């Protein structure tokens, strides 16, 4: 790939990354017109922004990348593939839990980590201040699809034009982590992004990575009937148990496929 096309791909990646903030601004403006504010209803604001982003990113992905992706799958998407990626998703949840526990136990005396943890916790606690409908749209239904369009659908495919192999997997994972901004989130979201990128590279199934992302978010953002200590205790045990099988499956996919 010559330098001109490399620079063009970098510009497009930067554009895909930057334009997100523009849509967030539009979502905030839309909410303000309705008489609300981001400070009081962040999940409603994010839902409105995602509603605007979905057709924009979706059309770019469909006309620019999806046809090429369908021709490059290495591994067919079957029921077995969904079972394997479900285990991977649960294992990712266990790793995330382990990282957040480590931060809470070992790193809380570091000021910037403590501040990051507090901001992250405040945002998590704000879920209880809004209707679950808007939390569901933002975190479970539309938000993950938009993020997968940006990072696996567009950035991954554009990065692959710069260099094939591990480069698009790693680049899309790092940008996915940085996108979440808070330090306590960046580490585990990079790991998640790497696994999503690996699965997408092997299967070229956008639906499959959306399934993994939605499942992960749904498990940790359940409806009110499941939002209790008993549910989260069971979920945590299952996720921790699945860490080793998930690592084994990821290594196997790296080696075999």
Q: Kindly report, residue by residue over 162-210, the tens digit of the pLDDT.
A: 988 899 999 999 999 999 888 888 889 999 999 999 999 999 899 999 9
Question: Whole-model pTM?
Answer: 0.91
221-240 mean pLDDT: 91
Q: Kindly report, residue by residue over 90-113, the tens digit of the pLDDT.
A: 999 999 999 888 888 877 777 777
Helix, strand, coil in percent for the chain, rounding step 5 = 85, 0, 15
């Amino acid at each position: 790939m010559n330098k001109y096309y490399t620079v063009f791909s970098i510009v497009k990646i930067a554009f895909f990354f930057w334009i997100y903030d523009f849509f967030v601004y539009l979502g905030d403006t839309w909410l303000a017109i309705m008489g609300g504010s981001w400070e009081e209803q962040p999940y409603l604001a994010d839902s409105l922004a995602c509603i605007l982003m979905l057709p924009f990113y979706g059309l770019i992905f469909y006309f620019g990348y999806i046809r090429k992706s369908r021709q490059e799958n290495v591994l067919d998407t079957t029921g077995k593939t969904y079972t394997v990626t479900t285990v991977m998703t649960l294992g990712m949840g266990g790793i995330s839990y382990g990282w957040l526990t480590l931060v809470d136990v070992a790193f809380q005396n570091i000021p910037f980590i403590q501040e990051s943890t507090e901001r992250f916790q405040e945002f998590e606690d704000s879920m209880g201040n809004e209707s679950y409908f808007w939390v569901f749209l933002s975190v479970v239904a539309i938000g993950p699809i938009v993020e997968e369009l940006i990072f696996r659908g567009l950035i991954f495919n554009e990065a692959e034009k710069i260099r094939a192999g591990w480069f698009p997997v790693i680049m899309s994972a790092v940008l996915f982590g940085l996108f979440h901004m808070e330090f306590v989130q960046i580490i585990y979201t990079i790991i998640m992004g790497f696994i999503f990128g690996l699965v997408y590279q092997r299967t070229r199934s956008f639906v499959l990575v959306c399934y993994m992302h939605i499942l992960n978010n749904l498990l940790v953002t359940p409806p009110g009937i499941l939002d209790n200590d008993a549910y989260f205790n069971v979920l945590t045990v299952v996720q921790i148990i699945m860490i080793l099988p998930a690592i084994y499956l990821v290594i196997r996919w790296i080696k075999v496929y």
